[in-house]
Amino acid sequence: MMRPSPRRSPPRHALLKSALLGAILGIPLAGCGHPATREECDEVFNRSAELELQTQHITDPKRVAAMISDLREKRGEQILQHCVGKRITQSAMECVRRSTTPIEIERCLD
């Protein structure tokens, strides 16, 4: 009888990608504010990635930069397409900048 294989945790890049999509997709489609610019979306992307990596205890600046760059190369355009043009407020961006956890970023964008 075959035993089921043990569950493996998802790779870190998958967790990072999932967290970024959650944050970016949380940007409302309508309401107050203005259409999000590419620069604003890049800022949300970078901050979300940095904070997600911190939760995984990855804090070496070179490693963080490499992992963010790798994700941006593989999925950056797709992730940013979900963000650019969606409504965002200045207070939401300020909240993103002050956030210390990925969950806080999601709340900023709700």
Query: Which residue shows structure tokens 């504010």?
Result: 33
> What whole-number distance in Å separates Cα of residue 92 and Cα of residue 104?
11
pLDDT greater at residue 21 or residue 83: 83
* Residue 41 falls inside a structural domain: yes
More confident residue, 16 or 7: 16
pTM of the model: 0.70
24 inside domain:
no
Q: What sign for the dihedral angle of Cα 15, 16, 19, 25?
A: negative
pLDDT given for residue 29 in this prediction: 45
* Mean pLDDT, rounded, for 12-32: 57
Q: Which residue segment(s) compose the domain that 66 sits in?
A: 34-108
Residue 9 domain flag: no
Kindly tell me if the per-residue pLDDT of 59 is higher than 50: yes
Whether 6 is covered by a domain: the verdict is: no
Q: How many domains does the chain have?
A: 1
Nearest to 88 by CA among 63, 67, 105: 105
The answer to whether residue 26 is domain-embedded is no
Q: Is residue 98, in this structure, part of any structural domain at all?
A: yes
